[in-house]
Amino acid sequence: MSWYKRNIQGMIPQQNKAHKEPCKGNVPQKISNDKSYSQEITSTVTLNLTILDMDSENDHKIISKRLLQMPGIVNIKPYQNPQKLIISYNPYKISIEQIIFEILSLGYQNFVRA
């Protein structure tokens, strides 16, 4: 037995053998018995991009219009500074790679993720 296995066994609490039904934790009884209950994760992450090719407000509108059509994009801040794009998105519905791929497909090649 390795050192890690010996030490981890002392840290993990032993299961109660008399308790045969899995523990439902802190979930209220009413919710845990409701089969139609489903929890949707609504988390928002903000991504700050510096797009070196985005020189004008028109470029910002082109990128924003395309990104807002994608599921998971929550918000794009209005144009304030050249080359700055601030995107709020749900990471459970869309990934950074998908966002960047869409920007690349529009022809904007030079950007930095800040």
Contact predicate 49/87, CB 8 Å: yes
**Nearest partner of 94 among 69, 61, 59, 114, judged by Cα:** 69
Query: Strand ranges (DSSP E) for 1-114?
Result: 45-51, 73-76, 84-89, 111-113
Model pLDDT, residue 59: 92
Find the domain containing 98 and state its range.
Answer: 45-113
For residue 36, is it within any domain? no
Q: List the chain pLDDT tens, one digit each, 114 residues.
A: 565 556 555 555 555 555 455 555 544 555 445 555 445 567 899 999 999 988 899 999 999 999 999 999 999 999 888 889 999 999 999 999 999 999 999 998 887 765
Domains in the chain, number? 1
Model pLDDT, residue 81: 87
For residue 89, is it within any domain? yes
For residue 10, is it within any domain? no
pTM here?
0.61
Q: What is the CATH number of the domain that holds 95?
A: 3.30.70.100
